Structure 1
Amino acid sequence: MTFKKLILSTLLLFNPLLLGAANSEPCSEWTEGNPILQIKPYWETAKSEKIIACLKEGKSLKTRDSMGRTALHLAAQYNQNPKVIKLLIQAGANLDARNASGGTPLHDAAMRNPNPLVLETLIRAGANINAKNKNDWSPLHSTKFNKNDDVVKLLIQSGATINAVDDMNRTPLHLAAPFGSLQKIMLLLNAGADANAKTTYGITPLHGAAGWNTNPQVIESIINAGGKVNAGADMGRTPLHEAAKWNKHSSIIFTLIDNGADIFAFDHKGSDIFEIIESNIRLKATDGYWDVRELQFK
């Protein structure tokens, strides 16, 4: 053995990091390791060949990571290849297994996976489309976080309950309204979402959209679907109050007013929108603040 080979052998023998790099285990991060730094990248790139090799190695479909997720949960959330999902199902993965939050693989797919074919694979295999997690969220609720609106479309077409409520009486429309795209909002409304559904605290979807959505067309679509523009006046919290308090876009305030919002309605503290906007730092940083101010003198 040459001196160079002797040094290399010694390094590999006594340095675990180098040894791991030279002889890595393709299945070591199946459900083990850091959820973000190790498990997520593993399942994002896992291909059918790797899954088959890991199953032959003896990896169990029942083992869970630190968040209670099985291999099918992880693949459904991170892997965009429906063949990987199908392979795990054919190998006996439990479609209705629950993670630590009570969610099924379909919940995880609806939440993060941008490929509708992954969800379709789960649904065709028999996944419960209206399963509830510990917060009573259905997979349709979970699409709040998914940026591909085709996922919403697929769930609706597959029979998702459009006005299902969670533990705070929120519907999928409630969750979509603050940050959802116009397409997502329209998909829900056209499928029969209740524009006036109230949460446990009396909040409607229009309240959420008024407070945080930046698209005036979203506001108009909810109103056109029957959403009451002065909802919550009896409890001193209308959509206009929410827009004045939180939204940085004056166009949202004007859209509400153009559709009949009561500009002089008082909130539960006895303040009108002209007092409320004084605490809206984001709006005050724009010219729109002064446009709203001018309404006080008209």
Structure 2
Amino acid sequence: SVYPPLATNGHSECLRLLIGNADLQSAVDVQDGNGQTPLMLSVLSGHTDCVYSLLNKGASVEAKDKWGRTALHRGAVTGHEECVEALLQHSASFLVRDCKGRTPVHLAAASGHIGVLGGLLHAAQSVETLPVITDNQGYTPLHWACYNGHDTCVEVLLEQEVFHKTEGNSFSPLHCAVINDNEGAAEMLIDTLGPAIVNATDTKNRTPLHAAAFTDHVECLQLLLGHNAQVNSPDASGKTSLMMAAENGQTNAVELLVSSAKAELTLQDAVKNTALHLACSKGHETSALLILEKITDRNLINSTNAALQTPLHVAARNGLTVVVQELLAKGASVLAVDENGKIRKANTIFFGTFLLNVSTNVSL
């Protein structure tokens, strides 16, 4: 068919001539190998004249390609406002879902096209009761706008009462905002929906503070803590935000959490690792030292995990020279035995080097 290239390239006069002489209505909705119709391709390229010509000839606004996307889905992604307006005038559904369950509203919010989003939400006013719009993963358009940091879209969505509901994926819009360092979106969410959302948990019991700590976003951490985020709240595996930051070597988050946030250092996860164990286990020397700096209790220095390993075992095994020195200086026991009956799992020569330098006042 010659329709797709004409639609793609915007040759509206040629297209009008051809469709004007078409014998069959089906010719207007002819699909290419991906199931795309001339209308979809015209919208994709932003050729408004072609869009109107095809619509006036009766082109289907409901046709879907092999991904389940309509012409309106394409307009939402590309941001071609006039094309979207034309489709809506011809009763295109803004609630139609693609193969991933995403509506044009999802795609406009995710892409940051505020003009298109506004048009879609205006069309939504014709629906008496707008349902909660979730995709196959339970994410709403608000989740997507927050995740991608489109503050203006977040603002417009929050003007709609339906997006104030806490339905959908429990990895909330606030989780989505802070994990990508979108402080502006996070602040709007808290101001509009209330500070209680700060301690919302997902299916793995992770709070937004866990998400911000995981990605080392200090400004978001400060925002959450300023709204009474529970710093010692554990996730399903027993890990606090500090543990998550320590395990991932997020030094800025670790420093904030152990200093101004006064995170509890004695807490253990499901396998009895402390934040210090976790920092050492992944070789994150700076994070381990930041935690060590706040520890004065020798019992905590010598605390054991489920494998009966102390932080000294773990630090030595991972070759953390400075951490081993600091642990020994703070009273780490060099004769602690792990579950395998071993004093340590590190290389014997490496560990022995430190033992030779241990002063006589170190407790055995």
Please classify the TM superposition score into its range, dividing by the shorter chain length. 0.7 to 0.9
Q: Deviations over 1:207-264 (max 9, x none)?
A: 1111114233x22322332420121179521111111122x54211111011117333
| Structure 1: gaps (5+ residues) | 1-11
Pick 1 or 2: higher relative contact order, CA cutoff 8 A, min separation 6. 1
Aligned counterpart, 2:106:
73
CA–CA separation in structure 2 for the residues paired with 1:233 and 1:205? 11
Matching residue's letter, 2:286 = S
Q: Identify which of 77, 80, 88 aligns with 2:120.
A: 88
Q: What's the offset of the Cα at 1:269?
A: 0.7
Cα gap change, 1:153 to 1:272, in 2 (>3 Å) = same
CA–CA separation in structure 1 for the residues paired with 2:100 and 2:269? 42
CA–CA separation in structure 2 for the residues paired with 1:122 and 1:170? 25
CA–CA separation in structure 1 for the residues paired with 2:73 and 2:279? 37
Aligned counterpart, 1:273:
311
Q: What's the offset of the Cα at 1:147?
A: 3.4
| Structure 2: gaps (5+ residues) | 11-37, 46-60, 330-364
CA–CA separation in structure 2 for the residues paired with 1:186 and 1:74? 31
Aligned counterpart, 1:98:
134
Query: Quick check: 1:274–1:293 contact (8 Å CA) kept in 2?
Result: yes
Query: Quick check: 2:147–2:180 contact (8 Å CA) kept in 1?
Result: yes
Q: What's the offset of the Cα at 1:34?
A: 5.4
Aligned counterpart, 1:260:
295
Cα gap change, 1:207 to 1:46, in 2 (>3 Å) = same
Aligned counterpart, 2:323:
292
Aligned counterpart, 1:115:
150
Aligned counterpart, 1:154:
188
Q: What's the offset of the Cα at 1:177?
A: 1.3
Q: Percent identity?
A: 24
Give me the TM-score of the superposition, normalised by structure 1. 0.78
The number of aligned residues is 272
Query: Quick check: 1:210–1:240 contact (8 Å CA) kept in 2?
Result: yes
Query: Quick check: 1:75–1:85 contact (8 Å CA) kept in 2?
Result: yes
Give me the TM-score of the superposition, normalised by structure 2. 0.65
Cα gap change, 1:278 to 1:43, in 2 (>3 Å) = farther
CA–CA separation in structure 1 for the residues paired with 2:256 and 2:172? 24
Query: Quick check: 2:280–2:311 contact (8 Å CA) kept in 1?
Result: yes
Query: Quick check: 2:72–2:87 contact (8 Å CA) kept in 1?
Result: no
CA–CA separation in structure 2 for the residues paired with 1:166 and 1:192? 18
Q: The residue matched to 2:185 in structure 1 has which SS?
A: helix
Aligned counterpart, 1:199:
235
Q: What's the offset of the Cα at 1:200?
A: 2.7
Q: Deviations over 1:129-188 (max 9, x none)?
A: 352324x22211222443322111111121241111222222111222111311011111
Aligned counterpart, 2:278:
242
Aligned counterpart, 1:209:
245
Tell me which moved more, 258-267 or 153-162.
258-267
Query: Quick check: 2:279–2:288 contact (8 Å CA) kept in 1?
Result: yes
| CA-atom RMSD in angstroms | 3.2
Query: Quick check: 1:176–1:185 contact (8 Å CA) kept in 2?
Result: yes
Query: Quick check: 1:174–1:204 contact (8 Å CA) kept in 2?
Result: yes
Report which of the two structures shows the higher radius of gyration computed on alpha carbons: 2
User: Are 2:87 and 1:51 equivalent residues in the alignment?
Assistant: no
Aligned counterpart, 1:138:
172
- 1:159-174 paired onto structure 2 within 5 Å: 159-160=193-194, 161-174=197-210
Cα gap change, 1:191 to 1:260, in 2 (>3 Å) = same
Query: Quick check: 1:265–1:272 contact (8 Å CA) kept in 2?
Result: yes
CA–CA separation in structure 2 for the residues paired with 1:140 and 1:258? 32
Q: What's the offset of the Cα at 1:64?
A: 0.7
CA–CA separation in structure 2 for the residues paired with 1:132 and 1:167? 13
Cα gap change, 1:52 to 1:21, in 2 (>3 Å) = closer
Matching residue's letter, 2:111 = Y
